Homo-oligomer: A and B are copies of this chain.
Amino acid sequence: MEFTAKQIADMIGGRVEGDEQAQINTFAKIEEGRKGAISFLSNPKYTPYIYETQSSVVLINEDVELTQPVSCTLIRVKNAYESVAKLLQLYASMMPKKTGIDPLAFVSKSAQIGENVYIAPFAFIGENVKIGDGSRIFPHVTIYDGCQIGKNVTIHAGSVIGADGFGFAPTASGYDKIPQIGIVVIEDDVEIGANTCVDRSTMGQTVIHKGVKLDNLVQIAHNCEVGANTVMSAQVGLAGSTKVGEWCMFGGQVGLAGHLTVGDHVNLGGQSGVTGNVKSNQTLIGSPVMEPGVFFKAAAIMKRLPDMYKEISALRKELEELKKTK
């Protein structure tokens, strides 16, 4: 597919500066630009590249003032990042979409598969699983018996939905398994990354609500509930029975203890460790978590702890001297 700068500008409501007939047929990062490519400039850190880029066209915010002439054609837009996202979506919507059940997939006879579903080679769909319309299941995904997947759900390669929750009862000689007879429910519009695990419930359901996005290598334990539109970065782990609200954002490698309740719109910085309930509308970081202002100050002072320790000893000594000589 080939488009002119003018055609692109019309699609996204932008204004061309330069050659309206400039031809583009691909995307490129501005620092890796090449003839025929469209790039974008959003982060000011990358501004110097606009004077050297080989890309034919660059999307740029209306209000950016350039101090030198450029050889590329510009398309001025309100928000270059949003515009490129929109163009990528248009581009992706024009690509042919794979649908259908690949003959190399394993789909149980009792599974109910919706319309326009893609199930890749080596995907495993257990008994009585339901998968809604338009969902895409990539290679090596395992969906255990009885789990329910909504519409327009994407599950990337290697993720495991509905393995047994980690429940054992200690005895004198070892552990007895507590059977996990519940299921996992994944609602509509959820995207799950690669090699992520969502365990089935002991009884009832582990629920991933509508619009949730889970990155790679995430662990969601049995009986958890993740609220609508919550986003979790890679390697996050939730222990059993923890409930997370809507519109939360968790950075990478965050860990939450079990049986907690986290409110809506909670942001947790990377590597945070949460051991108690969290109210809505908070941003926290650290292990255990605290407010970011406090965390970064405390973290900076951590390095001075040895000096502080020495100074306290010195103060004590000098104070005792002073007391004596009084």
A118 at the binding interface (Cβ < 8 Å): no
Interface size on A, residues (CB 8 A): 101
Tell me if B181 and A157 are in contact (CB < 8 A): no
A68 at the binding interface (Cβ < 8 Å): no
A45 and chain B: residue at smallest CB distance: B259
Tell me if B298 and A306 are in contact (CB < 8 A): yes
Stretch at the interface among A1-9, A10-18, A120-128: A120-128
Instruction: Take A234-B197, A294-B306, A322-B319 as given contacts and tell me if A85 and B176 are in contact as well, using a CB distance cutoff of 8 Å.
Output: yes
Minimum distance in angstroms from A171 CB to a CB of chain B: 10
Partner pick for A163 among B27, B122, B194, B306, CB 8 A cutoff: B194
Instruction: Tell me which residues from 152 to 175 in chain A have a Cβ below 8 Å from any Cβ of chain B.
Output: 154, 156-158, 160, 163-164, 166, 168-169, 174-175
Partner pick for A301 among B89, B234, B270, B306, CB 8 A cutoff: B306
Tell me if A28 and B140 are in contact (CB < 8 A): no
Which residues of B have CB within 8 Å of A92? 179, 181
A91 at the binding interface (Cβ < 8 Å): yes
A275-B272 Cα distance, complex, nearest whole Å? 13
Tell me if B315 and A290 are in contact (CB < 8 A): no
Tell me if B191 and A177 are in contact (CB < 8 A): yes
Tell me if A305 and B315 are in contact (CB < 8 A): no
Tell me if B271 and A273 are in contact (CB < 8 A): yes
A321-B301 Cα distance, complex, nearest whole Å? 25
A62 at the binding interface (Cβ < 8 Å): no
Tell me if A217 and B215 are in contact (CB < 8 A): no
Minimum distance in angstroms from A190 CB to a CB of chain B: 10
Instruction: Tell me which residues from 27 to 48 in chain A have a Cβ below 8 Å from any Cβ of chain B.
Output: 27-29, 32
Minimum distance in angstroms from A142 CB to a CB of chain B: 4
A91-B181 Cα distance, complex, nearest whole Å? 9
A199 and chain B: residue at smallest CB distance: B216
Extra contacts besides A85-B178, A216-B219 (4): CB < 8 Å: A140-B160, A294-B306, A315-B316, A322-B323
